[in-house]
Structure 1
Amino acid sequence: MEEIKSNKPDPYQALRYREFNIFLLLRFAMVFAWSMQFIVIEWEVYSLTKNPLSLGIIGLMEIIPAVSMSLFAGHIVDQREKKSLLVKCILGFSVISFGLFLLTWPKVVGGWSTHIILYSIYALVFFGGIVRSFMGPTIFSLLSLIIPKKVYPNAATWSSSVWQIGAVMGPALAGFSINWIGVHWSMCLVFGFSILSLIALSQISQKPIVNPKMGESIKDSLIEGLTFVFKNKIVLGALSLDMVAVLFGGAVALLPVFAQDILKVGSEGFGILRAAPAVGAFITMLVSAYVPLYENAGKKLLIAIFVFGLSIILFGLSTYFWLSVFALFLSGLADGISVVIRQTILQLKTPDHMRGRVGAVNSIFVGSSNELGAFESGATAKLMGAVTSVVFGGSITLLTVVFTALKSPTFRNLDLKKDMDDHHKLE
């Protein structure tokens, strides 16, 4: 692998490595497909049931296996070759997306009862949670193997930005495609993107297993991974803060309710609402490549999540469509900043041989909290109404940020500049 030397900070440093560009395409395709699938299925399930609690059950069906399997998955990832493991993950997702494609095809399920269709969807989402528990740690570990250490910070910025773009553009396209081509063919697009990611992965070579403790028992391996995370206040603080924001600020899980019953804008308006965070995330990606977020990273992360909480409250209170769009745009902008900073912290602070386990803990704290947040939003919307549920979640996010800022001066004053300088010195 040819290394590029420069005396000045290079915002495109990581992009000068061929396999990293392929990795970005792979990651975008998978995140795009997964997030698009989740929204298409949310729309279909709510259309079948007209019950906001059913949206929460979708999240619950994915989070149960994702959380229960994550630590074991992290151990397996640290012990296995990453590319081969990721191939299996993507194949598993492809089977699930094809199954959902069939379940949304009237020619296949025309004679089925609503309950059978619903339970079949829940079953596939459950199996998807198992696949997801392995995929997150595998991708996190693979990133560190395709670029040199001195490029980690820049690579983390690009990788997390691409993740954020995929995570919001997938749902945005889902909203529009439901209106243009229907649920069934929208699921066909999801399957197509999963195949694209598999093709991209074929262009990345197999990597060596970086683990000095090969053959370590599962118990010892898991204890070591958990001990590292819970003793590292910076890593734990970043994961915990983002988890609360995602868990209680999950207003997007209720977008079908707002689009259909509150703002009354239908599937086309639903698409615009879903696209709004994508625009904010895209701006984050452009800016973060040029404007360093690692200086005063703690303060910037706290401010970003505080703004995210405010935007969620504004969305919940808004009865005007374009004000709601602006609030979601702002949430995407703020969330994008927090994701970039958090991923940079994890890449810089995690030892190579523990990336699978730390990635697994990250999946539990943040990745799975998307689905748990969907369940929380659906359950509270059922109990107190959609608007109150969203405002409540945004308020909890604000209180958490204030508490962290006051009680954790170490995290508040976090600055990653020294870590950046240390990595730039590595050859």
Structure 2
Amino acid sequence: MTMPPEDPKPGSVIGKRSLTALLWMINLSSISASVLVYIFLAHHALRELDSLLVSEFVLFAPMVVPVILAFQLSSLAARLEVRMLLRLTNALGAAACLVLFLFSTLNTWVILIGATVVGALDAIQRVARIVVIKQYFSTDELKFTVPLTLTAQFIAGAVAGAIMAFFPSQMTAGATATATISLFAGAALCTFLLPPSAGEAPHGQAGSFRLANGLQLLRELPALRRSLVSFVLLGSFFQGFYNISRVALPAYHLGLSQQYVGLLQIVASLAAVAGALYFYFMSRRGAAFDLRYIYPACAAAMFAACIGRSWPESYPLYFAYFFLFELAFFRLQADIMAAAPKHQMPMVAALQYALVYAGMMLAIFVGAFTVKWFGLAATAALFAAGFGAAQFVRWRAASRVSLYAAPPERIR
């Protein structure tokens, strides 16, 4: 397999490689801005307001909003042209940061409202990022495009980890305002370079999201159903554990300082970027990425990382765990985008994020208690076993459906 050609399609002003790089820049700028907002508000709530509850709400905002607003996100992504949607949300993000950091007193209510507004804009862009890839690239190009364009979110996480680890005192409201406004504005300006989208939804088929419509689509498309259910399970258990362990592993299990929390964020982000690049280059060589081997290897690395009693033991295994997680993530994400009809992509993306974040929040809630009662290693084992059991149930259910749906054999 080869890289998508550089030559642009008719009516396009830039080639596929340039388009991929442009989308990557837009994603990196907007995600970095959102992450900086979350980190600053959470840190301010904890340090200045002495409120762990408000700090936790800020960090939960990116997950809560896609679940609550799934209907509205799908309708918005289906009805607005994707370039305009990205441009508008980034411009509003810059305006929100201007008001939040320069013209407001950061009390409890301002922080809660600010985190909700930025979380809503972030949620819209998460759906739009999936839709824009589906609109601009063919099915054969998705396996190359998905890992490259989505690496921006992991690099943004690494930047956030570096700031947390090495420059906590420099995170003033003025500096955060300058950085976030510049990043959001830069992303909005970059959208003017995007070509017109490759195709629009057929008339009458880009309606608002309804759960019944989503379930009907999954019933009609078995490949989409298999990939989406596996993606939700993967995100709920493995990414849910990541959200627990990124603080609990260094601070609770190993008893290390905040700098090592930031260092682990950098390790995870580097693992994600390495996984994306490995997936891209190996996909070009025709690698299939068999999930039957990736799942158990990822679970084993996740558990092993929680057994070590020092960071030189745990962090390399954590790198392996997140590297393998990303291989499965990109494989399933590419499969979902390939199986979903283009005009239904907004609904599929909204449903995907709503289910994944609902599962992650449940995993985080359960994990908070199991870490306290049984420890991090036991929690990792519980999550790995839970994922395996859920996949077994999914496989059995799929086998029954295919058995009953199969036409009877003709007697020869």
Alignment: residue pair count: 388
Match of 1:339 in 2: 329
The amino acid across from 1:253 in the alignment is N
| 1:320 maps to 2:310 | yes
The amino acid across from 1:381 in the alignment is A
Match of 2:18 in 1: 18
Query: Cα gap change, 1:306/1:190 in structure 2, threshold over 3 Å: closer, same or farther?
Result: farther
**Alpha-carbon separation, structure 1, partners of 2:77 and 2:66:** 15
The amino acid across from 1:229 in the alignment is L
| 1:408 maps to 2:395 | yes
| 1:364 maps to 2:351 | no
Post-superposition shift, 1:358? Answer: 1.0
Match of 2:66 in 1: 66
Post-superposition shift, 1:335? Answer: 2.2
Post-superposition shift, 1:90? Answer: 1.5
Secondary structure at 2:136 match in 1 = coil
**Alpha-carbon separation, structure 2, partners of 1:410 and 1:378:** 27
Post-superposition shift, 1:143? Answer: 1.7
- In the superposition, the TM-score normalised over structure 1's length comes to 0.75
Match of 1:419 in 2: none
| 1:399 maps to 2:386 | yes
Ranges of 4+ aligned residues in structure 1 off by more than 6 Å = 49-52, 293-296, 409-412
Q: Which one of the candidate residues 230, 236, 239 is aligned to 1:247?
A: 236
**Alpha-carbon separation, structure 2, partners of 1:222 and 1:171:** 35
**Alpha-carbon separation, structure 2, partners of 1:318 and 1:404:** 28
* Deviation readout 1:176-196 (Å, 9 max, x if unpaired): 354362364356434432222
Match of 2:282 in 1: 291
Post-superposition shift, 1:72? Answer: 2.9
What aligned pairs does 1:173-252 form with structure 2 within 5 A after superposition? 173-176=162-165, 178-179=167-168, 181-182=170-171, 184=173, 185-186=175-176, 188-207=178-197, 210-214=200-204, 218=208, 223-249=212-238, 250-252=240-242
**Alpha-carbon separation, structure 2, partners of 1:179 and 1:364:** 32
* Deviation readout 1:186-223 (Å, 9 max, x if unpaired): 5643443222222221211343661113386547x664
Greater shift after overlay, 319-328 or 241-250? 241-250
Greater shift after overlay, 117-126 or 59-68? 59-68
The amino acid across from 1:10 in the alignment is T
Q: Which segments of 5 or more consecutive residues in structure 2 lack a partner in the other structure?
A: 7-14, 400-412
The amino acid across from 2:20 in the alignment is F
Q: Give the percent of matched residue pairs that are identical in Structure 1 and Structure 2.
A: 10
Match of 2:364 in 1: 377
**Alpha-carbon separation, structure 2, partners of 1:313 and 1:186:** 37
**Alpha-carbon separation, structure 2, partners of 1:168 and 1:46:** 20
**Alpha-carbon separation, structure 2, partners of 1:342 and 1:81:** 26
Match of 1:165 in 2: 154
Secondary structure at 1:408 match in 2 = helix
What aligned pairs does 1:125-136 form with structure 2 within 5 A after superposition? 125-136=115-126
Query: Cα gap change, 1:301/1:46 in structure 2, threshold over 3 Å: closer, same or farther?
Result: farther
Match of 1:80 in 2: 80
What aligned pairs does 1:76-155 form with structure 2 within 5 A after superposition? 76-98=76-98, 101-102=101-102, 109=105, 117-155=107-145
Partners of 2:77 and 2:85 within 8 A in 1:
yes
Match of 2:404 in 1: none
Post-superposition shift, 1:295? Answer: 6.7
The amino acid across from 2:133 in the alignment is L
**Alpha-carbon separation, structure 2, partners of 1:335 and 1:199:** 33
Comparing both chains, which one has the higher relative contact order based on Cα–Cα distances under 8 Å and sequence gaps of 6 or more? 1
Partners of 1:248 and 1:394 within 8 A in 2:
no
Greater shift after overlay, 275-284 or 199-208? 199-208
Please give the root-mean-square deviation of Cα atoms over the aligned residues, in Å. 3.7
Post-superposition shift, 1:394? Answer: 5.3
Partners of 1:172 and 1:272 within 8 A in 2:
yes
Partners of 1:35 and 1:166 within 8 A in 2:
no
**Alpha-carbon separation, structure 1, partners of 2:301 and 2:53:** 24
The amino acid across from 2:280 in the alignment is A
Partners of 2:370 and 2:379 within 8 A in 1:
no
**Alpha-carbon separation, structure 2, partners of 1:267 and 1:33:** 22
Greater shift after overlay, 12-21 or 72-81? 12-21
Q: Which segments of 5 or more consecutive residues in structure 1 lack a partner in the other structure?
A: 1-8, 413-427
The amino acid across from 2:233 in the alignment is V
**Alpha-carbon separation, structure 1, partners of 2:99 and 2:326:** 32
- In the superposition, the TM-score normalised over structure 2's length comes to 0.78
